[in-house]
Amino acid sequence: MDFIPGVDGPSEGVPRVLACFSNNLLRREPLKLVDGGQSQRTFVYIKDAIEAVVLMIENPARANGHIFNVGNPDNEVTVRELAQMMTEVYANVSGEAPLDEPMIDVSSSQFYGEGYDDSDKRIPDMTIINKQLGWNPKTPLKDLLETTLTYQHKTYKEAVKRQMSQASATS
């Protein structure tokens, strides 16, 4: 993930939960749980996804004419569970204690604006990619989060600090 809302683009209403939560952790702001964070999502590690794409390229006879889901159903969590995991992992990665209130609930209309609609559950069916290419994702969610948040902290922490100090100096 190479997008941090507010550093690389707009920060409010961006429907990228990992990016939004990473941004809030870097800024030491509560993670915003849309409609209580009950939506369910899965997350796949980029190296696992690349491995799947390489298999498709290297096996055209088995891949052509098929539509593949590339994901990790074993990494299914609610957005609230993801927020809890990310808060814990980031505290370990950064050495910073979590906020006293690390999460806040917001409505979908507050966060996205009126009329935004999303599915409550997104879980990929891996049947076709497993049958055609023998591919299965390998990286557990905790490992994905540790790697991602370590990278985010090292790469963006200073830029976020500078941006926040500039914003407070102009207000």
Helix runs in 5-140, H state only: 17-27, 46-58, 60-63, 79-94, 108-112, 127-133
Band (pLDDT 50/70/90 cuts) for residue 110 is confident
pLDDT at 11 > cutoff 60? no
pLDDT tens digits, one per residue of 20-44: 899 899 999 999 999 999 999 999 9
**CB-CB contact of 70 with 53 (8 Å):** yes
Tokens, residue 43: 């997350």
Confidence of residue 122 (pLDDT cuts 50, 70, 90): confident
What is the per-residue pLDDT for 56? Answer: 98
Q: Half-sphere exposure (CA, 13 Å, Cβ side) for 27?
A: 21
* All structural domains of the chain: 17-141+148-165 (3.40.50.720)
- Give the separation between CA 31 and CA 102, rounded to whole angstroms: 6
Evaluate if residue 83 carries a pLDDT over 90.
yes
Reported as a pLDDT band with limits 50, 70 and 90, residue 130 is: very high
Average pLDDT on 47-75 reads 97
Residue 107 amino acid letter: S
Q: What was the pLDDT predicted at 157?
A: 84
Query: In this predicted model, what pLDDT tens digit does every residue of 139-161 receive, in sequence order?
Result: 999 999 999 999 989 988 888 88
List Cα–Cα distances, 12 to 38, 66, 74, 108, 111, in angstroms: 20, 36, 29, 12, 7
Q: What is the pLDDT averaged over residues 84-88? A: 97
